[in-house]
Amino acid sequence: MKNVAVIGLGLIGGSLAVDIKKAFDCTIVGIDASEVNAKRALEIGFIDEIGTLKNVKQVDVVVIATPVNTIGSISNEVLDLIGDDTLVFDAGSVKGSICSSIAKHKNRKNYLAAHPIAGTEYSGPNAAISDLFRGKVNIICELEKTDRKIANKAFEIFDALGMEYKYMSAVEHDRHIAYVSHLSHVSSFMLGKTVLEIEKDEQNIFDMAGSGFESTVRLAKSAASTWTPIFTENKKNLLSSLEQYIKNLNEFKTYIEEENTNELNRIMTETNHLREILNNKI
């Protein structure tokens, strides 16, 4: 593995580039729709040169980490251009639409649909950090559609970055991730919006943020340009989870109105089960 192309030089693409560069003796060509981002990536040093899509003809590995609504078409263009042994993988947070769009491409076997579950609330090349993926779960979808030799090349990279694995269909992935990740982002953004609307004195927000607000609203710092396409691409699953969430909020609201302390206690005590799930690996 001598030459790698990374398309999309933000938090995920940048962090992948940082660690791939560190683990392998390779040259990385960076490709980004934003010239500013590409120059910044070169300046930081996690890419060796700035390129265009045509560069993928000469590389061993292509990493696609652009906004999810662009991954389908970029993947098809990339698969048109690559050599026989080139590995292409993406890191998108929605997998169904991407997998469908490449399903019939003659080079589908060169593609691995992946979703490394890692991130921060920051974005752009400056957000790229080392070791973002160590110990994190990488969800691999439709592994059976990837050539085994090509897939092994991907696992060589993921192993070097310290990832763990989980395998599922793209449909299953999108359903689970709607609840566990996408809904968290919506709830956090709306919490932030609600507090900003009412609290005209921003000093109050800052002073009281230690009361639990800060961690709950962390995701509301995330980039709109990343999350708008995720929400629309995973619309069906996200809407189901949002409906359920709003239903639960309305029910809880009724119990508060009624001062039904038994039900409030019961619901919160049951939800406390998350302690065991999150604090200890099952």
Could you say which of 72, 119, 124, 125 contacts a second copy (CB under 8 A)?
Answer: 119
Report the alpha-carbon distance of residue 273 to residue 269 in Å, rounded: 7
**Residue 49: HSE in the Cβ half-sphere, 13 Å Cα cutoff:** 12
Nearer to a second copy, 62 or 65 (CB): 65
Return the structure tokens found at 111. Answer: 């593609």
Among 20, 94, 161, 183, binds a second copy (CB under 8 A): 183
Contact yes or no for 29/50 (Cβ under 8 A)? yes
Residues in the chain: 282
153/173 with CB nearer a second copy: 173
242-261: contacts with a second copy (CB under 8 A) = 242-246, 248-250, 252-253, 256-257, 259, 261
Q: Compute the distance between CA of residue 45 and CA of residue 56 in angstroms, rounded to an integer.
A: 20
Q: Does 218 bind a second copy (CB under 8 A)?
A: yes
The single-letter code of the amino acid at 40 is: R
CA-based nearest residue to 112, from 89, 93, 78: 89
Under the binding rule (CB under 8 A), the answer on residue 158 touching a second copy is no
Q: How far is the CB of 158 from a second copy (least distance, A)?
A: 15
C-alpha pair distances (Å), 255 with each of 101, 194, 274: 46, 21, 22
Q: Can residue 229 be called a binding residue for a second copy (CB under 8 A)?
A: yes
Q: Is 196 one of the binding residues for a second copy (CB under 8 A)? A: yes
Contact status: 271 vs a second copy (CB under 8 A): yes
Give the residue, chosen from 71, 99, 140, 219, that forms a contact with a second copy under the rule CB under 8 A.
Answer: 219
Which of 212, 273, 241, 245 is closest to 253 using CA atoms?
A: 245
- Residues between 78 and 107 with contacts to a second copy, criterion CB under 8 A: 93
Nearer to a second copy, 84 or 202 (CB): 202
Q: Does 73 bind a second copy (CB under 8 A)?
A: no
